[in-house]
Every structure is written in structure tokens, then in C-alpha cells.
Structure 1
Amino acid sequence: MTASLFPQDPLTEEDEAAPAGVPLEEQAYRSLRQALVEGVFAPGEKLSIRRIASSLGTSPMPARTALRRLAAEQAVDVLPSGTAIVPRLTRQSFRELGEIRASLEPLAVRLAAPQIASEALDRLEWLLTEHEEARAGGRADDLLRLDREFLFTVYRQAGSPMLLGLIEVPWLRRGPLFWEARWALMARPQETGHRHPAILAALRAADGLRAARELEEEIRDATSFLLKEMRFADDAATPGLPALGKARAAK
């Protein structure tokens, strides 16, 4: 693992710039948190304090503190031995995450609709254009990043830090699995799952209820799709995506 594995694309606005003087523990926490969202670590991977500290250029203490915070948020699991690992989701836990997302995230969209700034709407339009280019270019990594940036641009416009914090928790647990599934998501017909253009149209019309319904359907559709396509921790075979190699070959 190297420092370059830790992404610089923050999940929330407050993470966008770490001011001078931010404690090392906080910097380590933010870096690890974002790495989990972006799928830097694979499901079931052990998170070595020594390796993480080395990649971040810190002593082991900040890495250990960051992992403890993430464990408290249920972003990582802790074995009886005390070793932290990236969550390997069961089917039931993934369904549960989908239900949580389908409740919380549409609420943020509904709250954002009446007050979303014109600059944010322009940003969303640009992200949709970039999304189309990423799909046309077969750039699955960028597709996931742009989807995430689109949604969190909307969520921040809700002006509800508490709600935003609640939304982030399922994203921490889902990040590694979605990263594994990125090629399957890429190959999925856009018209069967991607509803961001409809969400943006509803937001431009200040129709929060319609935008929220579109997002709820998108989340439920994605959950159902991945339950069919992915292997989970409680399946008989090793967790992973059976069609991953074929999807990559077809890229």
C-alpha cells in the first residue's frame, strides 16, 4: 500500500481541505474514511495499522485511533483478535443498507429541492455530461466517482449536517462492494437504472417529491440488480463478482 492509494476526492464539503493544524488522528480518519467509500480496500481485507501508518506517513497511533472511530461507525468490522477488516456483506446486510439508503437519501433530495443553488444545478449538469463521456469511454472507475459526486452535491444542498452524517455511514460499508461491482454496473443498460437526468429535471422544477421518488427507485433497482449479480459472504462460493472477468474482457 502506498500513500497514493488514499483518494483526494472527499465525501463531504468539510473534508475538502484539511486546514493547517488538523490533528494527525483526524487526517488519518478522513483519509481512511474516503478510501473505504472509494473501494481502495477489498471486502474482507485486513487493515494493518503498520501498513496504513506507513502509507499515511504517520506513527501507528493516528492509524489505530482512526480505525477505532471507523469501527464505532460500523464502517469496519473487528475480529475477536482485535484485527480490523473491511466489511464483507451478507445478503441481508446489503438489503438492509439498501433500505436505509432508500429512506434517508430521498429525504435529503426533498429537502434540497426548494433551496438548491443555481451553481449547484450547473454543477450537476456538468457531472451528467462527464458521466456520459465516462460511460462512452468505458471508464468504470470514473463512472462510480461521478455518480457519488452527483448525489452528494445534492445532499449537501439540503443544509442538514446531521442527515448528511447519517447518509455517509451506509456509504462507508457499501463502498468496497460497489467497487467490485463497477464493471457489472457499467455493463448495465443505462435506461434501467440511471435516473440522474430525471432527478436533475425535477430539481430544476423545484419538485422535491418527484426527485425523491426517482432516487428511491434508483436505489431499489441498484440493490435488486446487485443482489442478483454479486456473491455475498453467506453464499456458498467465495464472495466476488462471477462475471467480473467477462465484463472486463468486454470493456
Structure 2
Amino acid sequence: MTAMLISTIPDTADPAGLPLEEQTYRRLRQALMEGVFAPGDKLSIRRIAEALGTSPMPARTALRRLAAEQAVDVMPSGTAIVPRLTRAAFQEMAAIRAALEPLAIRLAAPRLTAPALQQLQALLDEHAAARASSQPEDFLRVDRDFLFALYRAAGAPTLLGMIEALWLRRGPLFWEARWVLMARPAEAAHRHAQILAALQRGDGEAAAGELETEITAATGFLLAEMRFAGDPPPGGLAALPGKRRAAR
């Protein structure tokens, strides 16, 4: 992993008073959710400690916790690798998301205030601006902010934690696919306008259905456009020694 990636780890997840180990864990966890790291990136204890201004111990502890959440794979040397999902793992994750995230919207719908709906509209406008200015990083960030504003509004901390765990594994793949995702036609990119319209009329069930459609459509799109762990080599060549040599 490059020093540039390390330096972009956000510092917004550092509530005052938390132990240094917890702060380090939260910052790395947030970075994975936000797509700071791509599949295959290496997260060395030394570089993380240097970037965050800590000793190696908090970085080591954070990586072990993330490995327990299946967010990273830790090598014997202590270096962690952001895993690349298989197609089957991605499909399983998407199926779980399509069940849990619409549930969060159903729970959030009756709790949304007028100011909360106004905030969602502002995020929707910001999302359109990010697309228009060809800023895929902002495009993904606002997508995440819109959805998590709803998930937090559900007032269901256990459900929120489960969704965050799924996004830990989702984040790196979506970061890798950011340009591909943003290149989709606007009407296919997401269903946030439809979700918000349903919420504005108080129809949480319709809003949940729109999100399920969005997750299913994005899953199908990425399955068609992206390579996953275990996929055959480009061009359909069989993984035979002779053919591998011929491809060099």
C-alpha cells in the first residue's frame, strides 16, 4: 500500500477519551468502509503506525480485530491484505444487504423529521453535482452518506452494526469500481431520488423496495463488469502452464 493511501485515513472517527487502540481500529475500519483501500492493498503495521502517529501495538491490535471481522487477511509477518471477493462471496453479501438495508429504511421512515428529509435532499443534490464534475470519490462518499443517514435514523444499533460489517467488505470493491459505477446512466446509477420521494410521502415500504432494487441492479452490473477472485484469466484462457507462458 502506498504512503498516499495511508495518509488519507480519515480522522473523524476519533471520539475524545477513547483508548488509542480503539481510535486506531475505528479509523482503519472507517477507511475500509469508505474505500480508502482497494482489493489487494497491503496494510503494514509499520506504515499504519507511522501514518497515524502511534506505536506499532495499536496498529497490530486494530488489524487483528479487522481480521476477526473478515475485513482483512493477516499474513504471518503481520502485514494485512485487503481481500478480493469471489463472485460467490459478493453475491452472498449482496443478498444479505438486500434484506438488511431495506429493513433499516422501513424502521427509519416513521422517525424522519422535516429537517432530516431536507438533509437527504441536499445529499441528493450533492450526488448529482459529483457526477456532473466527474468526481468518483465524492460520488461514492455522498452515496454512502445518504444511505447511512437513513440507517442511523432507524434507531437500531445492532442492525446498524451488521450493515457496517457488510460495508467493510463492500467498500474496497466499490472503490475499485468507482469509475465504472459513475459511468452508468444517471437513471441506472441509484434509486435515491425514488427512495426520497417515497419517504417524503411517508411510504417506508416503497422506499425499502426501491433500495432493494438498487442493490440488486448494482450487484448484477458489477458481476458483469468486474473481475473477482478465482475468475478465469482475461480472454478465457485456461489456467494451463503452456497457455500462461504464451500469454507473457
Q: Same fold (TM over 0.5)?
A: yes
Equivalent-residue separation in structure 1 for 2:126 and 2:134 (angstroms):
12
CA shift at 1:81, angstroms?
5.7
> Is 1:67 matched up with 2:63?
yes
> Is 1:25 matched up with 2:21?
yes
Report the 3-state secondary structure (helix = DSSP H, G, I; strand = E; otherwise coil) of the residue aligned with 1:18.
coil
User: What is the match of residue 161 of structure 2?
Assistant: 165
Code of the residue aligned with 2:204 in structure 1: it is: G
User: What is the match of residue 197 of structure 1?
Assistant: 193
Code of the residue aligned with 1:201 in structure 2: it is: A
* Structure 2 counterpart of 1:123, from 119, 127, 139: 119
CA shift at 1:7, angstroms?
2.1
Equivalent-residue separation in structure 2 for 1:32 and 1:182 (angstroms):
20
> Is 1:4 matched up with 2:7?
yes
User: What is the match of residue 183 of structure 1?
Assistant: 179
CA shift at 1:84, angstroms?
2.1
User: What is the match of residue 249 of structure 1?
Assistant: none
* 1:27-176 aligned within 5 A: 27-79=23-75, 83-176=79-172
Code of the residue aligned with 2:115 in structure 1: it is: E
Code of the residue aligned with 2:34 in structure 1: it is: E
TM-score by length of 2: 0.89
Distance 1:171 1:24, change over 3 A: same
Identity of aligned residues (%): 67
CA shift at 1:115, angstroms?
1.0
Paired residues, number: 231
Report the 3-state secondary structure (helix = DSSP H, G, I; strand = E; otherwise coil) of the residue aligned with 2:42.
coil
User: What is the match of residue 237 of structure 1?
Assistant: 233
Code of the residue aligned with 2:202 in structure 1: it is: A
2:111, 2:153 within 8 Å by CA — same for their partners in 1?
yes
Code of the residue aligned with 1:72 in structure 2: it is: A
Deviations 1:22-57 (A, max 9, x none): 111011011101111122222122211111011000
CA shift at 1:80, angstroms?
5.7
Report the 3-state secondary structure (helix = DSSP H, G, I; strand = E; otherwise coil) of the residue aligned with 1:102.
helix
Distance 1:81 1:96, change over 3 A: farther
Equivalent-residue separation in structure 1 for 2:225 and 2:36 (angstroms):
21
Code of the residue aligned with 1:97 in structure 2: it is: M
Report the 3-state secondary structure (helix = DSSP H, G, I; strand = E; otherwise coil) of the residue aligned with 2:43.
coil
TM-score by length of 1: 0.88
User: What is the match of residue 219 of structure 1?
Assistant: 215
Code of the residue aligned with 2:209 in structure 1: it is: R
1:41, 1:176 within 8 Å by CA — same for their partners in 2?
yes
Report the 3-state secondary structure (helix = DSSP H, G, I; strand = E; otherwise coil) of the residue aligned with 2:164.
helix
Equivalent-residue separation in structure 1 for 2:73 and 2:99 (angstroms):
24
The alignment yields a C-alpha RMSD, in angstroms, of: 1.5
CA shift at 1:4, angstroms?
3.1
